[in-house]
Structures are given as C-alpha cells and as structure tokens.
A = this chain, B = another copy of it.
C-alpha cells in the first residue's frame, strides 16, 4: 500500500485497515483520519503519537488499560485481537511452560496492583526471558515512569503494526 491509497480512503475504510494500530483504541485511528492527507506513513504515525501525547494522564492510563495481559486471560480464552495474538506468539508467550506462565501471571498481578494498568511491552522486540526480566525491573519504577514507559511501548507496537500494513513504505529502524 502507498500513502496515496491511505489518503483516498473513507473513514470507514481507514478504520477497517488501521483501526487496531493502537490496541482496542479505534477512537485514535478515527481521530487521526481528520489529519489526512498524510505526506507518508511516518506522518500518519506521528499524528497517532501526537494524539496519544495530547491525552490527559487518565487518557494515557486508559490507552494502557486497553492492552491485554501478556499470556493472560484473553490468550487463555481465545479473545486476543489478531495482532496481539501474533505478537504474543512470536515472542514465545503462547508456548510457556506451566511454571513460566504462573510466574508471569504473578508478576503481572503485582504490577497491575501497584500501577492500576497492565505491563505493556512490545512483545515482537522481546523474547519471553527478556519480558520476564523487564517486568521484574520495571515493577520497581514510579507510577509516572511506568506510565511513560508503557506509552513508549505502545508507540513501538503501533510502529510495527503500521509497518506490517504498509511495508515497504516504512523504514525498519525504530
């Protein structure tokens, strides 16, 4: 797909294609359609990032709360979004040993109890060992630090999802 194709879409077509570049936040995609025409896909991506950055603290927390736990209830119940399922699979989270899943679930529960939002990390850029390490380390951060860390991971996830949709129109470097 090239940017001209994206620019020519109705908002319904645009949402059908790009509606989940931020997990379960079609509102963001729908808002960004107002900013077309886009010069290129990085311009589209920047419009998404600007929208996220413009949200209040509770709005940013809301974006994080729209994300599933890693190897959590949505994975177990088969209700993950297509994108999230693929990402969790690629990082090895769909084939954890029982003791690994139990440890991840315990750490996730502690993280959510402390911060009031889930641990968000770009699964595609991390394997399961790294994810467990990051979860342990980031748990020690302040709420403000983790809100910012989580939002930065949301942006990485968005970048890779856009890249999947628009390749080769996007640079691979993050």
Of residues 14 through 56 on chain A, the ones whose CB sits less than 8 Å from some CB of chain B are 15, 24-35, 51, 54-56
Q: How many copies does the complex hold?
A: 2
* CB contact between A58 and one of B34, B57, B112 (< 8 Å): that residue: B34
**Which DSSP category, helix, strand, loop or mixed, fits chain A's interface?**
helix
In the assembled complex, A124 has its CB within 8 A of some CB on chain B? no
CA distance A59 to B51 in the complex (A): 8
* CB contact between A66 and one of B30, B35, B65 (< 8 Å): that residue: B30
Q: In the complex, what residues of B have CB within 8 A of residue A61's CB?
A: 30-31, 33-34
CA distance A51 to B57 in the complex (A): 11
Number of interface residues of A (CB under 8 A): 32
| CB contact under 8 A between A54 and B56, given known A65-B15, A116-B34 | yes
Selected A-B contacts with CB under 8 Å, 27 pairs: A10-B112, A11-B117, A15-B65, A24-B26, A25-B27, A27-B28, A27-B62, A28-B62, A29-B62, A30-B61, A30-B62, A30-B63, A30-B66, A31-B58, A31-B59, A31-B61, A31-B62, A32-B58, A32-B62, A33-B61, A34-B61, A34-B62, A34-B116, A35-B58, A51-B56, A51-B59, A54-B56
> 4 smallest A-B Cβ distances: which pairs?
A31-B62, A30-B62, A30-B65, A34-B58
